[in-house]
Structure 1
Amino acid sequence: MASRNPLYLDRLRVRHGTALTAAAAVLAAAAASGCAGDNGSPGAGNSCDSPGVSADELRIGLVFPNEGTIGEALNTVRNGVDTRLGLVNDAGGIHGRTITYTWRDDQGTPQANEVVVHDLVDSGAVFAVLEASTGASGGADYLRTRGVPAVGLPIEDIWADPAYPNMFTFPSVVAGGSASGVFGRYIKAQGGTQAVIVSTDSVVAAQRFAPLIEQSLVAVRIPTERLAYNSTITNPARFASQLRASDADVLILDLPPADGPEIVAAARAAGRTFRVVLAAAGYGKETIERHGASIAGFTTFSTYLPFEANTPAQQTYLHAAQQYAPELQPPDEDVAYGSYIATDILVHGLNAAGPCPTQEGFIQALRAVSDYNAGGLLPGRIAFDKSAEQPPGCLSFTQVNAAGTAFELVPHVRPGEPSHTEWCDEQPPGSS
């Protein structure tokens, strides 16, 4: 199991502006231009003249930071992209075309991003842009003006802005600033009645989740209180005494990955336990190795299905990663997994856009998709036709088992639920 943080991509977005940073077949008729051959495959008589489209190739642009602290954090992006494109190309490509890419380094900054996006688009050599960067906002206006499709990781708020209908991604808990009702439903189902939310007063990046989960808890009538934790001023044992004074039976931790588990272990040592412990960060092998049974019940969440679910779609991904990105170790690494899903959205859109794709057709076709789930890698389904700023309709939860030896999927066992691997709001995207 790789060391991953369910809010890792969100954290990259907010960390980049702080001192911590040194760092989708729908409406095919509407999408196609009508110049395809009778067999639906590109042929010698076709005259598709969209940028980046030839008789046997469809070229996209890939933008990501290649060096520095941010580049290091995102250094497995190409592994995820290569894995998904390897699968589709070996299966015959999209309508007979092989997908290739030209990549550019934007250094993770809006200024550099605007420059490289201009370079890729002005050359007329790319059909769409795939981005994994903390600087995607830099070239967003230009891509929108030119009507160029963009797909990427939800690291910045720009991906959740409905003013950019050409931009597509999968759900983010934080980007967009809307509260998901899933948290309240989950905590109430566990028997939670009162919550204490712990956030740090020293890192802006770790304060983004707290107000959102507070809204979700208020919506299900679970009262909350706030406590601030600063690891440079106090320590877990001393802070545990503050928790002992609280009547809460739910502990919410909006803290850096190392701090949350330490507080839980210290509270347990002091005789203070909670019915629910939910953390924004701390999922990973190192958490188990360091704390073991002292943090049994410690729970994290994800906007994509964690590998503990062990689904056929995840096995397909893992086997493909071994074939097309053998250097990716371990293959369940977070950024590569997210990049694979983002690339799958692009592939889904290209399929929907028809045998003679146009950029406008791609955008219209993908916006018409209302049941996307990356082939089973996302909990619930995305409705791209709805506002991009809507919160995630479904989440997955994992918690440390009683023996403290592993994270395990928290099943949704209530009768009538569509899946045991996901927790959804009353009306998740794509359900209506």
Structure 2
Amino acid sequence: MPTYFPLRPHRPHSRHSTALTAAAAVLAAAAASGCAGDNGAPGAGNSCNAPGVSADEIRIGLVFPNDGTIGAALKSARSGVDARLGLVNEAGGIHGRKITYVWRDDQGTAQANNVAVQELVGSADVFALLEASTGASGGADYLRSQSVPAIGLPIESIWADPAYPNMFTFPSLVASGSASDVFGRYVLAQGGSRAVIVSTDSVVAAQRFTPLIGQSLAASRIPTTQLAYNSTITNPARFAEQLRESDADVLVLDLPPADGPQILAAARAAGLTFRVVLAAAGYGKETIERYGASVAGFTTFSIFVPFEAKVPAQREYLDAAQRHAPELQSPSEDVAYGTYIATDILVRGLTDAGPCPTREGFVQALRAVTDYNAGGLVSGRLTFDKNVGQPFSCLIFSRVNAAGTAFEVVPNTTPGAPSPTEWCGERLAGAS
């Protein structure tokens, strides 16, 4: 994890709030309004009366765990928000309004989340919420009852639940909960035939990924075995001998970011080779700097377009992070990148909701979007209509090059592949 630098201070909205207000930012220059004066800009004649909306401001709420183990894992979430809102506000805001936020710490628990969101909606009078928390399910029923739009990281399955039409996110394995054959297709294309899946019961997310990839591999007739690993009690070198006994040519690592590369390095030191090494976490410069060539072939996957692609939207993100979130040491890590994209979804919804946004109008406008890709930051084209039942199916795979000096995008050379960089599959029949 990158070293944490305290966020720069912000002016509180009121003496009743312990939350901090951030001058933030957005994308569109702009203007205009049917509820503004003749010049099209919000002003004294503004008649918009939705919660959190004034003549020159739209106030939102931000919820995340600020302390503890979960807080450490999600500590860069606020930086991603600051970076995206920083762009918008320096461009004039959305329809002439700057976007500000107040925040609450929900400790990553459902109970505290319910308290936090009710404070933000009730006392702070926010228009919508951004959430980067493992406890978002706690306040979900309240937000739905109040028709409050919520956009967040897809850490819980509730984000993909059609029963909550006010909640928006981008696809993820955890949120979708549905299996696709994309992993099986990828492994077959790399020549893999037998897999061992290494997981741990100490990480909740790992318990969700292992069954999904197991189903995907089974659909491609790739047999699997499973091994449990716990870094606090298991020696990596000894564990490598268990991997040898599995006789697998595909190594799947459903482990925390620090553990997967360590296991592969130990396996390589023991003389083991694999056709495919597929890891749920571990993408980043830390893996390269620490292990180098000993983890060549280490492959991660994401809906996010990896930074090796160097698309214009990524350069814009990196510039925004440097200028508006200078405390962020590793902009390429998934939490900051993900919250930047989640905030971009908020920006899209506010833009499409028009010059006099309402909560209902926001939800309706965003549900109608069928071609979202965050300006090129995510793979494929996303729809926000939950009734479509879009599976989590298109991914980009990145692996450590042979020299161990960088990650590289794995090209899709499958005949007839729709993209040279994306790997797509189909939802498995009967998958839940």
Give the alignment's TM-score, normalised by structure 1: 0.84
Alignment of 1:158-197 (within 5 A): 158-197=158-197
* Aligned CA distance change for structure 1 residues 118 and 239 (closer, same or farther; 3 Å): closer
Q: Are the aligned partners of 1:42 and 1:356 in contact in 2 as well (CA < 8 Å)?
A: no
Structure 2 unaligned residues grouped into runs of 5+: 4-32
Range with bigger deviation, 133-142 or 380-389: 380-389
- CA offsets 1:82-132 (integer angstroms, 9 cap, x no match): 111111112221111111112222222222222221122124721111111
Range with bigger deviation, 290-299 or 354-363: 290-299
C-alpha separation in 1, matches of 2:108 and 2:121 = 18
Identity %: 77
* Aligned CA distance change for structure 1 residues 335 and 139 (closer, same or farther; 3 Å): same
- Aligned residue for 1:245, secondary structure, equals helix
Deviation at 1:266, TM superposition (A): 3.0
Matched with 1:345 is 345
Deviation at 1:43, TM superposition (A): 5.2
- Aligned residue for 1:362, secondary structure, equals helix
Q: Are the aligned partners of 2:181 and 2:427 in contact in 1 as well (CA < 8 Å)?
A: no
Give the alignment's TM-score, normalised by structure 2: 0.84
C-alpha separation in 1, matches of 2:146 and 2:204 = 35
Matched with 1:66 is 66
C-alpha separation in 1, matches of 2:119 and 2:92 = 29
C-alpha separation in 1, matches of 2:86 and 2:132 = 19
* Aligned CA distance change for structure 1 residues 266 and 327 (closer, same or farther; 3 Å): closer
Q: Are the aligned partners of 1:57 and 1:99 in contact in 2 as well (CA < 8 Å)?
A: yes
Range with bigger deviation, 251-260 or 198-207: 198-207
- Aligned residue for 2:408, secondary structure, equals strand
Indicate the structure whose relative CO is greater, using CA pairs within 8 Å and at least 6 residues apart: 1
C-alpha separation in 2, matches of 1:203 and 1:95 = 43
Matched, 1:308 2:308: yes
Deviation at 1:278, TM superposition (A): 0.5
Deviation at 1:218, TM superposition (A): 1.6
RMSD: 2.7
Matched with 2:407 is 407
Range with bigger deviation, 356-365 or 388-397: 388-397
Alignment of 1:124-203 (within 5 A): 125-200=125-200
Matched with 1:94 is 94
Deviation at 1:295, TM superposition (A): 1.9
Q: Write the letter of the residue equivalent to 1:218.
A: A
C-alpha separation in 2, matches of 1:341 and 1:232 = 34
Alignment of 1:307-386 (within 5 A): 307-386=307-386
Q: Are the aligned partners of 1:41 and 1:95 in contact in 2 as well (CA < 8 Å)?
A: yes
- CA offsets 1:289-342 (integer angstroms, 9 cap, x no match): 332222211111122122122111100000111121222223334322111111
Give the number of equivalent residue pairs: 399
Q: Are the aligned partners of 2:250 and 2:276 in contact in 1 as well (CA < 8 Å)?
A: yes
Deviation at 1:220, TM superposition (A): 2.1
Deviation at 1:60, TM superposition (A): 1.0
Q: Are the aligned partners of 2:59 and 2:100 in contact in 1 as well (CA < 8 Å)?
A: yes
Matched with 1:273 is 273
* Aligned CA distance change for structure 1 residues 239 and 124 (closer, same or farther; 3 Å): closer
- CA offsets 1:369-413 (integer angstroms, 9 cap, x no match): 111111111111211113487442321211111111222221223
Q: Are the aligned partners of 1:161 and 1:388 in contact in 2 as well (CA < 8 Å)?
A: no
Matched with 1:25 is none
Structure 1 unaligned residues grouped into runs of 5+: 4-32
